[in-house]
Structure 1
Amino acid sequence: MRLFLAAIFISLAVGFVNACSPADKAALLAFKAALNEPYLKIFDSWKPSSTKCCSDFYGVSCDPTTGRVADIILRGESEDPIFEKAGRSGYMTGSLSPALCKLDRLSTLIVADWKAISGEIPACIPSSLPKLRILDLAGNQISGKIPADIGSLGRLTVLNLADNRISGCIPASIVNLGSLMHLDLNNNQLTGAIPSDIGKLTMMSRALLSKNQLTGSIPVSFSNIYRLADLDLSMNKLSGLIPGQFGSMRVLSTLNLDSNQFYGNIPSSLLSSSGLNVLNTSRNNLEGELPDVFGPETYFSVLDLSYNKFKGPIPKSLSSVRYIGHLDLSYNHLCGTIPIGEPFEHLGASSFANNDCLCGSPLRTC
């Protein structure tokens, strides 16, 4: 008898887990109705007649305790058998329905890399989805602004809106995302300044803001983010001085500042840093002599200082570094003899091209 009752209980529990609330189901179907995916037919499993949207709806999963929808994970580029069988990546048109905001237990919302989803980010998301941890809408054609109250998503760890057409400023409230670890706003149409107190995001390890139209200076407060490993501000309209504090950040390994309007000297702390692995300050208005501060602990896989206004000699201490994979000093006003030894023995002439009067291997003899 006990085994019989246990079996009934397990059966009911499994049915509960696979089902979802009528309200959640209605919200999912409204979300589906605003989209069109003609090739992979992933929405064919989202049937109004289904009572098990937690298990039957492709890309949807639910909390096993409450039975409420917890995750929507729909990626247009995937190794899922559906994609392998079709032999193509995804393509989806339409927009994101505000009905998503009725899924108030949603923890993950990923609708990424579908190429043609347009419209705006539903303005109700920050106020209606308090449990949201991952918001990934990258790789679409979403326009409009980032919701001004985005900072109210206190549990958010990932905000990825890259490769869209989002405009306007980065909302000031973004600094309230105290749990944020990954911020990717690359390749949009964002304007204005980066919030000066961005350093409040002390949990952040990646901040990717390249290929926008951001202006103003780099907030020094970035240096307060002790977990920050990857900072990409390239291809914007940023100006001012490069903060020397970046060279003291112990975790920072990649710093891309190329294709902006920075001026002044390059901080010696960046070149002497033992933690930086990739440093790209090319295509700016940096000037002065290159600090002779390299040492045996210096290890750059990429060091690109090209297309600036640097003058004077190449620092002799560069020949004592532990390793430099790619070095580019071209298109400056450097002059003098190119040092000998590593890393110069494996570098081509293009690394030194179009300077005022450099000589020595691999260029002309002095």
Structure 2
Amino acid sequence: MCGVRFIKAAAALLLLLLSLSSSVRSCPPSDRAALLAFKAALKEPYLGIFNSWTGADCCNKWYGVSCDQETRRVADINLRGESEEPIFEKAHRTGYMTGYISPAICKLERLSSITIADWKGISGEIPGCITTLPFLRIIDLIGNRISGRIPSDIGRLHRLTVLNVADNAISGTIPGSITNLTSLMHLDVRNNQISGPIPRNVGRLRMLSRALLSGNRISGLIPGSISSIYRLADLDLSRNEISGPIPASLGKMAVLSTLNLDMNKLSGPIPVSLFSSGISDLNLSRNSLEGYIPNAFGVRSYFTVLDLSYNKLKGVIPKSISSSAYIGHLDLSHNHLCGPIPLGSPFDHLEASSFLYNDCLCGKPLKPC
């Protein structure tokens, strides 16, 4: 009899220990509650991605949720509306979600990354409290209908490496505090309604490798401090309202390979430095640039794209272009150029459209001189 009682007591103790162990390894109830409040503000009618958000442990197979293995606190929310995961392949469609990003997300105090991307219908504003999350490294909200401003104190997120809010309806200016994000590597605010100038001391973003700001209403000058960002490889300021000259220092940047400044209000001459730099994709079209095309091409000049069309350039096409290592696409149309088109590469493989609507260019592929 005593033996039976002992076995029952031992079994009960084992169940209690297993229960306690399970609760210790589960996510905290506060994190679970925050996720459910976040979910309640969203509606996803087609894929059922939130169907897995059940049970006490939000670290166990909740779709798009990852936890820190030691603390069991929620570390990552990764919800993409365009994915190759089975749930998308089975439905034969991309995702669509409406609603808004609840401030409840800010209660996930150990959150490292927030990816809520390409859902097309999510609206509302970026919760201002997001700047209180000290461990945040990634904010990726591309491809929604989010409006409002980028939080003014975004600069508090000293660990932030990625800020991607492209393809939304965000307005307001670029916050000055953004220059405090000294760990930022990827900045993408394309295709929004952002206005005002680029902060003058943007050069403080020393880790930045991509700065994509196209398709907004950004105005003012190109800050010269950009050229002090040693790691910057891609700079896209196209389709804005930026005015003034192109800083010559851009052509002296160590790793800059893509420079898109097309469809702005830039004026003045084209800096000579751009043609002997490491830039391989250079688009300066649809501005008000004046003067001559610099006769500064050489063996270091390697362009997959060189587009100077729709400006006010005059004079002849410099013969030194033929000494370039490579030029793939060249467009000099819609300027005031005159004189013979040089012979040889790259001119022998270009179409007439590269030279149309100038004052008096002649020679192959246009009419003979």
Deviation at 1:296, TM superposition (A): 1.6
Q: Secondary structure of 2:77's partner? A: strand
Q: Do the aligned residues in 2 keep the contact of 1:18 with 1:53 (CA within 8 Å)?
A: no
Candidates 277, 280, 283, aligned match of 1:277: 280
Change (3 A) 1:280 1:103: same
CA distance in 2, matches of 1:68, 1:267: 52
Structure 1 CA distance for aligned equivalents of residues 342 and 60 of structure 2: 65
- 2:26 corresponds to which of 19, 25, 30: 19
Residue 263 of structure 1: which of 251, 262, 267 is its match? 267
Give the equivalent residue in structure 2 for 1:338. Answer: 341
Inter-partner Cα distance in structure 1 for 2:25 and 2:247:
53
**In 2, Cα distance between equivalents of 1:117 and 1:218:** 33
Match of 2:222 in 1: 218
Separation (CA, whole Å) in 2 of partners of 1:315 and 1:42: 59
1:164 aligns with 2:142: no
The reply on whether 1:44 has 2:51 as its aligned counterpart is yes
- 3-state DSSP of counterpart to 2:115: strand
- Structure 2 runs not aligned, ≥5 long: 1-14
Choose the corresponding residue for 2:80, options 75, 78, 96: 75
Distance 1:26 1:181 in 2: 32
Question: Are positions 1:309 and 2:309 aligned together?
Answer: no
Structure 1 SS opposite 2:249: helix
Counterparts in 2 of 1:174-323, with a 5 A limit? 174-273=178-277, 275-323=278-326
CA shift in 2, pair 1:296/1:17, >3 Å: farther
Secondary structure at the aligned position of 2:320 is classed as: helix
Distance 2:269 2:359 in 1: 19
Alignment match, 1:361: 364
Superposition deviation, residue 272 in structure 1? 1.8
Q: Whole-Å Cα distance in 2 between the matches of residues 155 and 12 of structure 1?
A: 37
1:169-215 CA-partner distances (Å, limit 9, x unpaired): 00000000010000000000001000000000000000000000011
- Largest Rg, 1 or 2: 2
TM-score normalized by the length of structure 1:
0.95
Secondary structure of the 1:74 match is strand
- Paired residue total: 355
Change (3 A) 1:12 1:304: farther
Q: How does 1:134-153 map to 2 (within 5 A)?
A: 134-153=138-157
Asked if structure 2 preserves the Cα contact closer than 8 Å seen for 1:24 and 1:103, the reply is yes
Per the alignment, in what secondary structure is the counterpart of residue 90 of structure 2? Answer: helix
Which one of 118, 122, 129 corresponds to residue 117 of structure 1?
122
Deviation at 1:17, TM superposition (A): 8.3
Partner of 2:9: none
The alignment-based identity, stated in percent, is 66
- Return closer, same or farther for 1:93/1:177 CA change in 2, 3 Å cut-off: same
Instruction: Determine the C-alpha separation between the residues in 1 that align with 2:280 and 2:211.
Output: 16
The separation in 1 between residues aligned to 2:356 and 2:26, in whole angstroms, is: 66
Deviation at 1:160, TM superposition (A): 0.2
C-alpha distance after superposition, 1:327-349 (max 9, x if no partner): 00000000000001110111000
Structure 2 vs 1, CA of residues 14 and 140 (structure 1 numbering), >3 Å: closer, same or farther? farther
Q: Secondary structure at the match of 2:59?
A: helix
5+ residue gaps in structure 1? 1-7
Q: Deviations over 1:266-289 (max 9, x none)?
A: 00000121x101000000000101
Q: In the alignment, is residue 60 of structure 1 matched against residue 69 of structure 2? A: no
Which string of whole-angstrom CA distances, capped at 9 and with x for unpartnered residues, describes residues 213-267 of structure 1? 0110000000010000000000000000000000000100000000000000000
Give the letter aligned to residue 286 of structure 2.
Answer: R
SS of 1:71's equivalent in the other structure is strand
RMSD: 1.6
Seen in structure 2, the aligned counterparts of structure 1 residues 81 and 361 have a Cα distance that, compared at 3 Å, is same
Q: 1:183 to 1:16 in 2, by over 3 A?
A: farther
Q: Structure 1 CA distance, aligned partners of 2:99 and 2:39?
A: 9
